[in-house]
Chains A and B, each alone.
Chain A
Amino acid sequence: KQEVTQIPAALSVPEGENLVLNCSFTDSAIYNLQWFRQDPGKGLTSLLLIQSSQREQTSGRLNASLDKSSGRSTLYIAASQPGDSATYLCAVRQGTDKLIFGTGTRLQVFP
């Protein structure tokens, strides 16, 4: 059974720092991995999707990498801003319709 874990569970940093959020999964047989952002009381916003054949994806200040063989993905946030404060979720899709979500990392960036 696929298990997805994220560390750290919470992170508080000053504005301007570069951050690394980690996601690990137990079964490397995945189709893709997706990173989401969740703001309090709101829905999930897709940030990046990495196909199983890809190593990384970039969007603006965000870069996500995937090492399928070791069951790991990282989300790198460059030059963090207070507006980046949110919970970040990773989710994997295997050979079925469903996404399996991680535990989340709650990020706070203070001015």
Chain B
Amino acid sequence: EPEVTQTPSHQVTQMGQEVILRCVPISNHLYFYWYRQILGQKVEFLVSFYNNEISEKSEIFDDQFSVERPDGSNFTLKIRSTKLEDSAMYFCASSGTTGWASGANVLTFGAGSRLTVL
């Protein structure tokens, strides 16, 4: 069964450092997402990406964050200057369609990248 692959599975970084989290979505999917889950809290939407641009972003997704699809297969989340509160599990997801296109937009999530900021 096709899956979304995320690397690294766990990254430890010092506050202020830049981090890049990588994702390989399912190959024929067109819509890509990042979510995060701080330990003990809800899963929260960060950003959605379609046709090489951001289609929606949350208030969390400020100038510190950026996303890119550099080569047609990878989808990356960059955090420019990490803060302690960025420590979380970051999930990448992809779907073949989106809500208003057909309604059948099942998201497939990756296993997550755990980011620990010290």
Q: Find out whether the CB atom of A31 lies under 8 angstroms from the CB atom of B33.
A: no
> Is B106 close to A, CB under 8 A?
yes
A27: min CB distance to chain B, Å: 15
Q: Which residue of the partner chain B has the closest CB to A89?
A: B43
**Interface bits B44-61 vs A (CB < 8 Å: 1, else 0):** 110010000001101000
Q: Which residue of the partner chain B has the closest CB to A42?
A: B111
The complex places the Cα of A52 from the Cα of B106 at a distance, in Å, of 14
Q: Find out whether the CB atom of A101 lies under 8 angstroms from the CB atom of B44.
A: yes
> Is B25 close to A, CB under 8 A?
no
> Is A95 close to B, CB under 8 A?
yes
Q: Find out whether the CB atom of A45 lies under 8 angstroms from the CB atom of B100.
A: no
Of A49, A97, A102, which one neighbours B106 at CB under 8 angstroms? A49
> Is A69 close to B, CB under 8 A?
no
Within 8 A of A (CB), among B96-118: 98-100, 103-112, 114
Of B35, B55, B93, B100, which one neighbours A31 at CB under 8 angstroms? B100
B28: min CB distance to chain A, Å: 17
Q: Find out whether the CB atom of A34 lies under 8 angstroms from the CB atom of B99.
A: no
B104: min CB distance to chain A, Å: 7
- Interfacial chain B residues near A32, Cβ < 8 Å: 99, 103, 105
**Interface bits A34-46 vs B (CB < 8 Å: 1, else 0):** 1010000111111
Q: Find out whether the CB atom of B107 lies under 8 angstroms from the CB atom of A99.
A: yes
Other than A31-B100, A46-B106, A95-B100, give 14 A-B pairs with Cβ distance below 8 A.
A32-B103, A32-B105, A43-B4, A43-B6, A43-B109, A45-B109, A51-B104, A93-B105, A95-B99, A98-B45, A98-B48, A99-B43, A103-B42, A104-B42
A-B contact pairs, 9 of them (CB 8 A): A42-B112, A43-B91, A93-B105, A95-B100, A96-B99, A97-B31, A97-B55, A99-B43, A99-B107
